[in-house]
């Protein structure tokens, strides 16, 4: 009887609810983004890269873009991923990219920069750069992507999801030496809610994610730029009550969830993934 049960369960386990099949032991959730076209900015490393790989694993056709063509090379052989050099600070290039692509089902605005310092260390140039990369670039990608998204929804009922990269630093929590970073990431949340409110009845969802500290190449740069990197790393770890820093692969699943139809009722919200920083 027990043996029969296990044989039945093992056979059943190879069939998924969408009619596809897979070997026992593989990810039971694969196919959650089947049929979706996703554009990701800053996909060359860190969270953007992890999200590109996770979305492709879930069946999306992913356009992984980044200003750094060399970083993108490591992704170019991955099934489901096409790479594209894109500087999100270049309005003409953003417009050209969105003009060339079919309507997106998912836009993940991940590009951003962490300036280190209080208001006293923030020059007008620092302010301008951070707001341009962290906020204005999203305004431009969304403005260029939306008309085709709206048109696709009106004609076929295909809804679209925009996911914006915010941070715990900003309107959720004030952190030391994150003056312009926090100000710009707070603006991302305002931008996200505004877009969500304007297009909620026209098939567009817009949400933001707010990670705590994540182990990415730029975090290493930030740590190594400080006078005592060993102490700095300890301080970054201590910010999370879980006593550790996240891996990019721990942030990617929330992006996949917001990109997928599983989150169809969620819009205008901010999803923190922060190791308990905001308990
Ligand atoms: P990262 O900072 O290590 O890498 C950033 C990527 O952005 C690089 O591949 C770089 O080439 C690309 N990039 C830089 N300028 C660009 C431009 N003009 N156009 C297109 N691409 C450009 O990656 P990360 O640490 O995962 O950060 C990604 C996002 O996540 C940022 O918005 C960051 O603010 C946010 N974030 C990071 C953390 C963290 O602790 N790492 C926490 C919260 C939020």
Residue 216 Cβ inside 6 Å of ligand 1? The answer reads: yes
CA-proximal residue: ligand 1, atom 7 (nearest): 42
26 and 106 both lie in a single domain:
no
The rounded Å distance from CA 164 to ligand 1 centre is: 12
In a domain, 59, yes or no: yes
Query: What is the residue range of 8's domain?
Result: 1-30
Residue (of 230, 212, 186) closest to 279 by Cα position: 212
Helix (H), strand (E) at residue 273: strand 270-273
For residue 5, pLDDT beyond 90: no
Q: Which residues pair with 169 in a beta bridge?
A: 173
In a domain, 278, yes or no: no
Cα–Cα distance measured from residue 115 to residue 178, given in angstroms and rounded to the nearest whole number? 7
With tokens 């341009």, the residue in question is: 132
CATH number at residue 99: 3.40.50.720
8 and 45 both lie in a single domain:
no
Which ligand 1 atom is nearest residue 89's CA? 18
191 and 54 both lie in a single domain:
yes
106 and 208 both lie in a single domain:
yes
Residue (of 68, 103, 99) closest to 84 by Cα position: 68
Tens digit of each residue's pLDDT (9 = 90 or more) over 70-96: 999 999 999 999 999 999 999 999 999
For residue 102, pLDDT beyond 90: yes
The rounded Å distance from CA 20 to ligand 1 centre is: 35
94 and 49 both lie in a single domain:
yes
Tens digit of each residue's pLDDT (9 = 90 or more) over 29-53: 579 999 999 999 999 999 999 999 9
Q: Is the pTM of this model over 0.85?
A: yes
Average model confidence (pLDDT) for the chain? 91
| 12 band by pLDDT with thresholds 50, 70 and 90 | very low
Cα–Cα distance measured from residue 219 to residue 151, given in angstroms and rounded to the nearest whole number? 39
Helix (H), strand (E) at residue 179: helix 179-199
User: CB neighbours of 165 closer than 8 A, spacing ≥ 6?
Assistant: 47, 108, 109, 110, 111, 112, 188, 208, 209
Which ligand 1 atom is nearest residue 113's CA? 34
Cα–Cα distance measured from residue 155 to residue 108, given in angstroms and rounded to the nearest whole number? 23
Residue 17 has what pLDDT? 31
In this prediction, residues 96-112 reach a mean pLDDT of 98
- Interior/surface letters 33-60, b for 16+ CB within 10 angstroms, e for the rest: beebbbbbbbbbbbbbbbbbbbbbbbbb
In a domain, 279, yes or no: no
Residue 203 has what pLDDT? 98
């Amino acid at each position: 009887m027990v043996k029969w049960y296990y044989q039945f369960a093992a056979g059943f386990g190879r069939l998924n609810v969408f009619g596809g099949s897979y070997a026992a032991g593989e990810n039971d959730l694969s196919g959650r983004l089947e049929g979706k076209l996703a554009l990701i900015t800053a996909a060359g490393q860190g969270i953007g890269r992890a999200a590109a790989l996770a979305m492709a694993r879930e069946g999306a056709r992913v356009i992984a873009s980044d200003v750094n063509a060399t970083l993108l090379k490591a992704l170019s052989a991955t099934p489901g991923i096409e790479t594209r050099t894109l500087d999100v600070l270049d309005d003409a290039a953003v417009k050209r990219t969105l003009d060339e692509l079919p309507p997106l089902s998912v836009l993940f605005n991940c590009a951003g920069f962490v300036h280190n310092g209080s208001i006293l260390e923030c020059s007008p140039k620092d302010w301008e750069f951070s707001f341009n990369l962290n906020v204005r670039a999203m305004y431009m990608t969304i403005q260029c992507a939306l008309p085709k998204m709206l048109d696709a929804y009106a004609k076929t009922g295909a809804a679209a999801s925009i996911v914006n990269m915010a941070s715990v630093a900003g309107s959720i929590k004030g952190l030391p030496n994150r003056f312009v970073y926090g100000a710009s990431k707070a603006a991302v949340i305002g931008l996200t809610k505004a877009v969500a409110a304007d297009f909620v009845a026209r098939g567009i969802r817009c949400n933001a994610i707010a990670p705590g500290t994540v182990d990415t190449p730029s975090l290493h740069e930030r740590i190594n730029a400080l006078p005592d990197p060993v102490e700095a790393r300890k301080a970054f770890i201590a910010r999370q009550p879980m006593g550790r820093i996240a891996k990019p692969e721990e942030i990617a699943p929330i992006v996949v969830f917001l990109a997928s139809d599983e989150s169809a009722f969620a819009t205008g919200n901010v999803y923190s993934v922060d190791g308990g920083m905001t308990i």
